[in-house]
Structure 1
Amino acid sequence: MGWSSTGRPVVRSSGRPVEGFVGLAAGEFEMPTRAVLRDGQFLVMSAHHRATASAMIKTLSLNFDRAPAIAGTVVWSETGRLDSLVADAGTVTTLRTGAVVGVATDLLAPAGAGRLTLIGAGGQGPDQVRAVHTVRPLRELTVVDSDPRRAEALAEQLAPELNGTHIRTATDAASAVGEADIVCCATNATSPLFPEQALPAQVHVNAIGAFRPTMRELPDELLASSTVIIDELDAILEESGEILHALKANAITEDDLIELGTALSAPTAPGSKRTVFKTVGVAMQDWAIARLLADKFLP
C-alpha cells in the first residue's frame, strides 16, 4: 500500500505479512513478550494463532562477532497436523524482517521513490534491499558500512539482482542519506547513525537494527518530526532504545505511535512528509513465515 498524489491509499501489498499484522491488531494472536537473556544474546519468542490452532516457538542465540550472527531454530505446529516444521532461525528472521520492511515501505514511501540508502552491510542487509526493490524499483542504491570491504561485497552481491540500478558504497551515513527517498537502518548501533538535519525534507526511514533499550539508530528530532509507525506497542515499549529515549526526552508521546496493523486496516495519509517505521520484531512474523513453509512442505 502506498499514497497517491491525492493522499488516497493505493493498495499493492498482499499476502501473509499484511494478513499477519492486520490479524495481530484484531487480536487474533496470543503473543507473549519475548524472553530476553544475557542482555539479548539469547531470545525466545512464541505466538499462537487462535483461528488455526497453530503455534510457533523460536529460540536463538545472537552474536554480532560471528557470521551468521543468528543461530537457532523455529518450530511450527498445528493441532490438525501430526508433523511439525523445524526451520533455521537465522533464515526465517531475515525473511520476516525483509517482508515487514517491504510492507511498511509500500505503505509509507512516495510512489515514485527510487533512491535507497542502506546503512549496515551485515546479514540483514540483502533482504532489506530486496524488499524495498520489490515495492519501489530502485534507480539508485547506496550501501553504507564502517567497513568499506563489507559494503563493496554486498554491492557486488546485489548487482546482478538490481539490473539498471546505480550502486555505490560509502562509509559516512550522514552524507549518504542527503538525497535518499528511503533509508534502511540495519545496524547494532548504540547512538544515532545520522543527525536529523542530514535527511531531505521528504523521506521514509526503516529502522530494524536496535532491538534492546541500550541500542539506538535514530535521533529524537527525526521521530518528533515524522509520522511514526511501529510493529507492536508492547514490544516497542519494552525493547526499542530510540523510542524509549524519545519518550523520556518528551520528543514524542505514546499517542504518536501507530501500530502497523492499525495503519494497514484503516489507512490515512501520513501527517508529515517524513515517515518512520520502527520494528523490534515480533513472533507473529516468524509464525507467518513458518506457516508458509508448512503449507508448502508438510502433508
Structure 2
Amino acid sequence: MKTITVGEREIREAVTMSEAIEAVRRGFVDLADGQFEMPTRTALRDGQFLVMSAHHRSTATAMFKTLSLNFERKPAIAGTVTWSETGRLDNLIADAGAVTALRTGAAVGVATDLLAPPEAGRLTLIGAGGQAPDQVRAVHAVRPLRQLTVVDADPRRAQSLIQALEPELTDVELATATDTASALRTAEIVCCATNATSPLFPESALPAQVHVNAIGAYRPTMRELPDELLAGSTVVIDELDAILEESGEIIHALQAGAITKDALTELGTALTAPTADYGKRTVFKTVGVAMQDWAIARLLADKLLP
C-alpha cells in the first residue's frame, strides 16, 4: 500500500482551473443523477470544525475531508482531503485549504458559464481573502475579463490581491474600491467571498442585468445577499439539503416569505436544461458540498497515483 501526500504547490501544478471546472461540472450532473452518497457535512463549534464525505457509486470511490476554519489566521483553512478506491490499496492525502479554494472557484466557474451573459466581462469581487484568487480565476476561465474591481474594507489587502493576480490578467483593467455601491454600478458579474453576517449591499445597488455568485456564508448566522435580490432573481444553488441547513441568506429569505423552496434550482438540474430562460438577474448560492472535493481529489488521484 502506498499513500501520496500533496501540498498546495503540487495541487496547483497538477490541476488547472479549466480542468477543475470541467470535473466539478460533471460532478454536479452526477449528483443530480443520484450517483453520490453524500451526507450533509458535520459542523462542530459553529462551523469551526467541518467533516465532509462523498461516495461515487458507479466508480466505488470516496473522499473524506476534515478541516478547521479560523478567519483570524493565515491560511484560514487547515486540514486534509483523503481519496480512497475500493479497487486499489493506494491512497492520496491532499491539503484541504488548496482543494477547497480550487473546488469553490470551480463551482463558481460552472455556474457563471451557465448563468452569466455570454458577453459579460466586468467582474466586481467583494472580499480579498483566501478564497478570492480562485473566484477571479474561475470567472476569467469562462468569461474572459475586461475589468476587475476588488472591494475590501482593507485597501492594502485589495491591492495585494490585484498585484498577485496581475500576471494572470494581462489586458484586464484592474482597480480596487472601498465603496461597494459604486463598484457594483457597472458590474456584469459579482462574486461575494466574505464572512459577513448581514447583506453586503442593497438590491438597488445592482444593475438591471447581472449574475451574482455568493460563496462566503456557510452557516445560518451568516448572510451576504439581501432578501430583495433573491426574490427578484433566478436562484440556483449547489444542493438543496445543504442549503436549507447552512445558507443564512436562503434561510432568512424563506422565513421572511421572500422566496419559496420551489424557487430554488439545483445546479446539476439546471445544467441538464442549459437553454432555459433565466431572466436578467441570476444568483448562484453555494455553501460547498463534498462532491466538489471528490471531483478535485479524483483529478489528483488520476494524475498522481501509480
**Which TM bucket (shorter chain)?**
over 0.9
Distance 1:211 1:281 in 2: 8
Distance 1:125 1:270 in 2: 29
| Residue of structure 2 in register with 1:247 after alignment | 254
Candidates 88, 97, 101, aligned match of 2:95: 88
Distance 2:248 2:153 in 1: 21
Q: Tell me, what secondary structure is at the counterpart of 1:281?
A: coil
| Residue of structure 2 in register with 1:101 after alignment | 108
Q: Tell me, what secondary structure is at the counterpart of 2:46?
A: helix
Candidates 179, 182, 189, aligned match of 2:189: 182
Distance 1:287 1:36 in 2: 18
2:136 counterpart of 1:126: no
Candidates 56, 72, 75, aligned match of 1:68: 75
Distance 2:86 2:106 in 1: 27
| Residue of structure 2 in register with 1:50 after alignment | 57
Shift of 1:37: 0.2
Q: How many residues align?
A: 287
In structure 1, list runs of 5 or more residues that go unmatched.
1-12
**TM-score (norm. length: structure 2):** 0.92
Residue by residue, what CA displacement relative to the aligned partner does 1:45-75 show, whole Å, maximum 9, x if unpaired?
A: 0000010111100000000000100000000
Q: Tell me, what secondary structure is at the counterpart of 2:287?
A: coil
| Residue of structure 1 in register with 2:207 after alignment | 200
2:44 counterpart of 1:37: yes
**1:1-299 equivalences in 2 (<5 Å):** 15-299=22-306
Amino acid at match of 1:25: A
**TM-score (norm. length: structure 1):** 0.95
Shift of 1:171: 1.1
Distance 1:41 1:162 in 2: 34
| Residue of structure 2 in register with 1:9 after alignment | none
Distance 1:18 1:81 in 2: 26
| Residue of structure 1 in register with 2:15 after alignment | none
Percent of aligned pairs sharing the same letter: 79
Shift of 1:160: 1.1
Q: Tell me, what secondary structure is at the counterpart of 2:55?
A: strand
Contact 2:219 2:248 in 1 (8 A): yes
Residue by residue, what CA displacement relative to the aligned partner does 1:216-250 show, whole Å, maximum 9, x if unpaired?
A: 00000000000000000000000000000000111
Distance 1:255 1:247 in 2: 11
Amino acid at match of 2:170: N
Contact 1:227 1:270 in 2 (8 A): no
Residue by residue, what CA displacement relative to the aligned partner does 1:180-209 show, whole Å, maximum 9, x if unpaired?
A: 000000000000000000000000000000
Distance 1:207 1:18 in 2: 18
Contact 2:21 2:109 in 1 (8 A): no
In structure 2, list runs of 5 or more residues that go unmatched.
1-19
| Residue of structure 1 in register with 2:8 after alignment | none
Amino acid at match of 1:141: L
Shift of 1:172: 1.8
Shift of 1:175: 1.8
Shift of 1:14: 7.0
Contact 1:174 1:193 in 2 (8 A): no
Distance 1:93 1:137 in 2: 23
Q: Tell me, what secondary structure is at the counterpart of 2:138?
A: helix
Shift of 1:178: 1.0
Distance 1:270 1:276 in 2: 14
